[in-house]
Structure 1
Amino acid sequence: MESAMQSGGDEDDIICLDESFFINDDYQLTTFKYGDEVLQLFCLQSASTDYDLTGQLVWPGAELLNNYLSNNKQILHGRSIIELGSGVGVTGILCSRFCREIVLTDHNDEVIKVLKKNIDVHSSGTVSHADSFAEKLEWGNNSQLKEILQRHPGGFDLILGADICFQHSSIPLLFDTVVQLLLFKGRGCKFLLAYVSRART
């Protein structure tokens, strides 16, 4: 914590809080079940103060998408998949049990830390069959997207997103990124988006 600044002869105390004050990294190993599939991931049980860290939780849209995918596993078999806004990776890690390759992305460095940790936990077991990668991707950031596509020149068969439309200002950037991914792969590439409205009527 830092303080002290002179202003017009009066001493005003300015309090600057370190960003770690807002970051909750008390991750707990939590069990999730989707059909016959059981996953254990590190995640938070409640949100951090910073809205930008919503990826530390598993949200209802991910539960919805994972239940759908567990009942339709055939759409994952042999596929190359990219997930946008992966958070702790619950959807991507479920997919890794069936697909050929999965790239899990998020824009927040703190969230990417726990995402990588969860990938490592599952990659060390015998359940995951896919090559799994964590990548930083801010929607609308063409240079980051270009780097990902250079590392995965075949593009992706399936683009996934779960509960990533809650911030309306980010939706145009999200869809700009989706369109670029769809055009890069061409025919056969699909975008699957799950969203659960939490608005009160």
Structure 2
Amino acid sequence: MERKGEKEEEDIVCLDGSFFINDNYQLAEFTFGSQVIKLLCLQSASTDFDLTGQLVWPGAMLLNDYIANNVKLLQGCSVIELGSGVGITGILSSRFCHKFVLTDHNDEVIKILKRNVELHASKENHNSRAELMVEKLEWGNSEQICHILENHASGFDLILGADICFQQSSIPLLFRTVKKLLEVRGQGQCKFILAYISRAKC
């Protein structure tokens, strides 16, 4: 005779996180003004385990077009990006700024971010003025924010973010993180530029 507890245990299915991960990245080319960028990314990504950073979103295209048309904004600046994903904005920006720190919170996304930074640093692709640095940063995580500010004690001139507001629940943590980064330089000494494309249907 089968016991109820045994039946319930048989019905439980446990899936490893890797089941949801697609890491079949393809090399893609993007053009912003006179700048051409090649990087590894997906054409679509799973929202499971927050893997949205595996592809280039419309907000990043918008921000990069803005950067390509306003390069003086970055010249001589130290910059940090929140939610860097595959790194397209950082790679473009590093061609004009003094220092660029790319951040993301997802370990799987950080892997492809680092691969793209290495790809960009190779001789055939290297035309950067700034060193690209990758840091893990979960918004609102005081320990990680302090770690970044210890490594970059003078703070930043610019904070960038592209298409990082699609989850309403994460917005307070995002702005709490931005506030801490802004405070290092003092009032008016650091700017936050956020590119956002609304997907709401009117």
For the superposition of Structure 1 and Structure 2, which TM-score range results when normalised by the shorter chain?
Answer: over 0.9
TM-score by length of 1: 0.94
Distance 2:137 2:47 in 1: 22
Query: Which amino acid counterpart does residue 197 of structure 1 have in structure 2?
Result: S
Query: Which amino acid counterpart does residue 10 of structure 1 have in structure 2?
Result: K
Specify the SS of the correspondent of 1:78: coil
Give the alignment's Cα RMSD to 1 decimal.
1.3
Distance 1:89 1:146 in 2: 22
**Identity, % of aligned pairs?**
65
Specify the SS of the correspondent of 1:193: strand
Match of 1:30 in 2: 28
Match of 1:138 in 2: 138
Question: Which protein is richer in helix relative to its size?
Answer: 2
Match of 2:59 in 1: 61
Query: Which amino acid counterpart does residue 192 of structure 1 have in structure 2?
Result: I
Aligned length: 196
The change in CA–CA distance for 1:60 and 1:8 in structure 2 (over 3 A counts) is same
* Stretches of structure 1 lacking an aligned partner (at least 5 in a row): 1-5
Match of 2:148 in 1: 148
* Stretches of structure 2 lacking an aligned partner (at least 5 in a row): none
Cα offset, 1:10, TM superposition: 3.2
Query: Which amino acid counterpart does residue 14 of structure 2 have in structure 1?
Result: C
Cα offset, 1:50, TM superposition: 1.2
Distance 2:142 2:7 in 1: 48
Query: Which amino acid counterpart does residue 85 of structure 1 have in structure 2?
Result: G
Residues 85-135 of structure 1, C-alpha deviations (whole Å, 9 max, x = no match) = 000010011001111110000000000000000011112233111011010
Query: Which amino acid counterpart does residue 8 of structure 1 have in structure 2?
Result: G
Match of 2:81 in 1: 83
Cα offset, 1:49, TM superposition: 5.0
Match of 1:106 among 87, 104, 119: 104
Residues 58-79 of structure 1, C-alpha deviations (whole Å, 9 max, x = no match) = 0010000000000000001111
Superposition map of 1:165-176 within 5 A: 165-176=165-176
The change in CA–CA distance for 1:72 and 1:141 in structure 2 (over 3 A counts) is same
Specify the SS of the correspondent of 1:138: coil
